[in-house]
Amino acid sequence: MRPVSRPTRVALLVVLFALLPFAAVAAHAESDSPDRAGAYWLGPYFAGMRLTYTSPTGTSFAYGDCEQPAGEGGCSVPAQVQNSTSCDRNPLAIDRVPYRVFLLRGGAVAVEYEQTGLDVSTGSQTVTLYTEFELMSAALRDFRRRSEPDPRPLAPPVYPPAALRELKRVTVAKKRYGRIGAIARAIGLPPAEVQVRLQIAELLPPKTLAHVRPPKLSIPALERLRQLAFRTENNLPRAARLRGISVAALRKKIAPVRGLTGYCWPLKGP
């Protein structure tokens, strides 16, 4: 194959970031993401590859180059890192059941999605890593804040209130119903989701959920609110006008699902 010029590689990377899984989520998240120093990355070099792309906000990174297959419109670089807030992106805000959940480097909660990367929730941030399979262990070991010279222990996640309430839902149901199948039937969630949520709850520091109240809304009612929040198209003023209500009234109505939709709208504003 003819060598790809640097301008072409840059163009491909731009296309790639536009087509990444969960790209819509990442785009919203970057407006609320940490500043450049607080964002996590893999350093100026990773696994022998140089940093080849940094987003304008300094919160998304790509490493290495890729060769575009003949007849296809894009390609995937060997390693990518995206930063978002835990309110924008957390395991309960993504409509996909992970197949592995585990603690990482002290207290962070890592959630792995088959063929779609891995999320690490630490503090109020979520770091999403996309790498080739052989590089994931190194990426989990090496990623760090841009302001830190070396990787350090990671703090436990700080999930948004809505996510904590949903974790409380399953822990309370477990005490009452015991088995996964019985919990799932009682609260209206698939057994796989119940199991993952219980696993996440068990990985959080003790007493994290102690003072969290169980949600009052049923799962079907919660899902209806989520769909309403999705339909706001991240433009609360416009959505409020279309519904003939004030922005404040719309915010109040969908407040119970803030942190469960992949986008955290402002709590206050016009």
* Residue 229 to residue 12: CA distance in whole angstroms: 33
- Percent over 70 (pLDDT), the chain: 83
pLDDT, position 31:
39
Measured torsion, CA atoms of residues 234, 26, 30, 166, in degrees rounded to the nearest 10: 70
pLDDT, position 23:
38
Task: Quote the DSSP letter at residue 155.
Answer: P
Question: Can you say how many angstroms the Cα of residue 115 is from the centroid of all Cα atoms in its chain?
Answer: 15
Query: How buried is 207 (Cβ within 10 angstroms: 0-12 exposed, 13-18 middle, 19+ buried)?
Result: exposed
Kindly state the average pLDDT of the residues 171-187.
Answer: 97
Kindly state the average pLDDT of the residues 6-17.
Answer: 39
SS3 label, residue 126: strand
pLDDT, position 101:
97
Judged against a pLDDT cut of 60, whether residue 12 lies above it is answered with: no
Judged against a pLDDT cut of 90, whether residue 139 lies above it is answered with: yes
Judged against a pLDDT cut of 80, whether residue 35 lies above it is answered with: no
| pTM tops 0.85, yes or no | no
Domain ranges of the chain: 6-145, 161-203, 219-257
pLDDT, position 8:
38
Higher pLDDT, 22 or 57: 57
* Residue 109 to residue 199: CA distance in whole angstroms: 10
Judged against a pLDDT cut of 50, whether residue 174 lies above it is answered with: yes
In this predicted structure, which of 37-46, 217-226, 260-269 has the lowest mean pLDDT? 260-269
Residues 75-121 pLDDT 10s = 788 999 999 999 999 999 998 999 899 999 999 999 998 776 899 99
* Residue whose C-alpha is closest to residue 77's, from 15, 28, 127: 15
Higher pLDDT, 207 or 29: 207
pLDDT, position 120:
98
pLDDT, position 73:
62
Phi then psi dihedrals of residue 51, to 5 deg: -70, 120
Judged against a pLDDT cut of 50, whether residue 18 lies above it is answered with: no
Residues 185-197 pLDDT 10s = 999 999 999 999 9
Judged against a pLDDT cut of 50, whether residue 179 lies above it is answered with: yes
pLDDT, position 206:
93
The model's confidence at residue 232, banded by pLDDT at 50, 70 and 90, is confident
pLDDT, position 107:
96
* Residue 144 to residue 122: CA distance in whole angstroms: 11
The model's confidence at residue 72, banded by pLDDT at 50, 70 and 90, is low
pLDDT, position 69:
65
Question: Mean pLDDT: which of 36-40, 89-93, 261-265 is highest?
Answer: 89-93
